[in-house]
Amino acid sequence: MLVVGGALGGAPLLAEPYTPKSDDEVLERLPPGVGRPRPVAADQELAQDAENLRASLELAARYLRTAEAEGDARFHGYTRALLRPWWSATPRPPGVALIQARIHLARWEWDEVVATAALVPDTDVNLPAAQVLLFEALLGRGEVERAEAVLSSIQTRLDPRALARARALVARRTGRAEEALQEWSKVLTTLPPDSAHRASDRLFRADLLLQLGRGDEAAEELSVSVREAGTQVDVLEAQADLLLDRRQPAAVIELLRRGTLTDALELRVLEAFAQSPDPDPAEQVRRQAVVREWLERVERRRDRGDVTALPLLVRAYRRVVPDAALALACATEWWEARPDFDSVRGCREAAQNPAGAGLAAAVQQWIDRHRAEDARWAGEATPTTRRGP
């Protein structure tokens, strides 16, 4: 993550971000008030007993909320380090497997989510939440029928919002975006103005509107969502994408000017640079340096085996520093590592040249197989709201 004030306002170029090399390695301890809420009782209890499971789970849940809200994967590492005494225990203590599955889902590690969710026993109070994660992972893998079976088994234990969201996800996966929109719009009318989910729920509705070609309505929904969410990463990504699609680079830069950006959000800024009129020579040199630093950093993530870096690189090599060969290489690696609904669109776009015939065929075979398995699935596969790049 990095602060973009320098990249956009003439300050010195940005420094190398401070990130762990693996989930097991914690490279910094955040002082109170930096990156997470002020200490609570759990912090004090852990200071006295580092293996206090209840306090560890409370703090781990706080770390995960921060990771999801800010798009900061470092907190996944902090969470794993915090739960290390129970990470591989057999059986897992209640709550630990659920947190593991949430981390895997955030990384699109569908197989790992399926395996981890299976560790939650039927008697665990976390079973419904674990089954929801299993449902989302199965949808990601394209196993719609199996996902629906999981949903059917737990629907009486879900709150109305969670159940409606799950049904809308199935409807969208099976080419029924209009039905999904109607289902989801009902949910929005029932949410109180101060609902913690309101901004993300608006984002989901905007995504459905975009699928139906109703761009103006989606733009309004995203604008409201940004106002409600502040710096929530997935909302900012969606708003920036819509502005880029409409060729409004200045609006993207303004949207993302303040605050700390993830690599994915900074990529939107770099795309806005690419869409902008040619700057003066000094500004052009500075922008090139920012692009180079970003590419080097994300390539290092790729070298460490971070699959989530691959869609970023595919997009960068298509839209920021066009290089069809590099985009195809990254897309092929992405597809081999994670063939699923989320990688379909990006990989097909990168394969649109003669050299990409093999990748295009592999993606098409995957689509055809899942269409055959679920006759209701029609049209092009589309990414989920768990947005990739």
| pTM to 2 decimal places | 0.57
* The pLDDT of residue 305: 83
pLDDT digits (tens), the chain, 389 positions: 443 444 333 333 333 444 555 544 444 444 444 444 444 566 667 767 777 888 888 888 888 887 776 666 778 888 888 888 898 888 888 889 999 998 888 877 888 889 998 888 888 888 888 899 999 888 888 888 888 899 888 888 887 778 888 888 887 777 787 888 887 777 777 766 655 566 677 777 787 787 777 878 877 877 777 666 666 677 778 778 888 887 888 888 877 776 667 888 889 889 988 888 777 888 888 888 989 999 999 999 888 888 888 889 999 998 898 888 898 999 898 888 877 767 777 787 888 877 888 888 888 887 777 655 444 433 333 333 333 34
State how far the Cα of 114 lies from the Cα of 138, in Å rounded to an integer.
Answer: 8
* The pLDDT of residue 287: 87
Using DSSP's 3-state secondary structure scheme, residue 26 falls into coil
* The pLDDT of residue 197: 64
State how far the Cα of 164 lies from the Cα of 338, in Å rounded to an integer.
Answer: 27
Residue pair 154/131 in contact by the 8 Å Cβ criterion: yes
β-bridge mates for residue 3, sequence order: 260
Question: Which DSSP string do the residues of 181-242 spell out, in sequence order?
Answer: HHHHHHHHHHS-TT-TTHHHHHHHHHHHHHHTT-HHHHHHHHHHHHHHHTT-HHHHHHHHHH
Q: How far is CA 129 from the centre of its chain?
A: 19
Query: Of 47, 10, 354, 385, whose CA–CA distance to 218 is shortest?
Result: 385
Residue with tokens 């929801």: 132
The two tokens of residue 256 are 């993302």
